[in-house]
Amino acid sequence: MVLYLLSALAFLCGCAFLIGAMFVVAVERWTAEIAALYFALGFLALAAGIFGLCKFLLRRRTRRAELQNASHERLLTEAAVLTLLPSLLANKGGTQTLLVPLVALAGWVIYRENRRAATNREKDGAD
């Protein structure tokens, strides 16, 4: 671990000296003010690019997590229905007993749609 830290420190020092050497060359070519301005604009562009990349990756990760959660919800629902169905149908009046889970399932679907609509409204308001 210590060797990795020393390697990272050496890399950062090398980058700093490389940037310093590039600045010296730029000062020889232009004035110090123009060279400093170009370097500042370059670093600002680099920071904006990194920020944009991070935001893109965060959105992509969020979408993947939402899709995975939806898939898990679907699997759990199907497993619950398949588990309960034989026992409900085996009882006398099982078809009447089936009405309760169907009403619960309808309520869950309504809740999920409302939650999705609220999430979309929050996303629209945040951007």
The per-residue pLDDT of the chain, averaged, comes to 84
Q: How far apart are CA 85 and CA 113, in angstroms?
A: 25
Over the stretch 43-60, which tens digit does the pLDDT of each residue have?
999 999 999 999 999 999
Tokens of 110: 């309504």
Could you give the C-alpha distances from 52 to 59, 80, 101, 114, 120, in angstroms and in order? 11, 42, 46, 31, 22
Over the stretch 61-102, which tens digit does the pLDDT of each residue have?
999 988 888 888 878 877 877 787 777 667 666 666 667 777
User: Does pTM top 0.85 for this prediction?
Assistant: no
DSSP secondary structure string for all residues of 85-115: HHHHHHSTTHHHHTHHHHHHHHHHHHHHHHH
Q: How far apart are CA 1 and CA 53, in angstroms?
A: 28
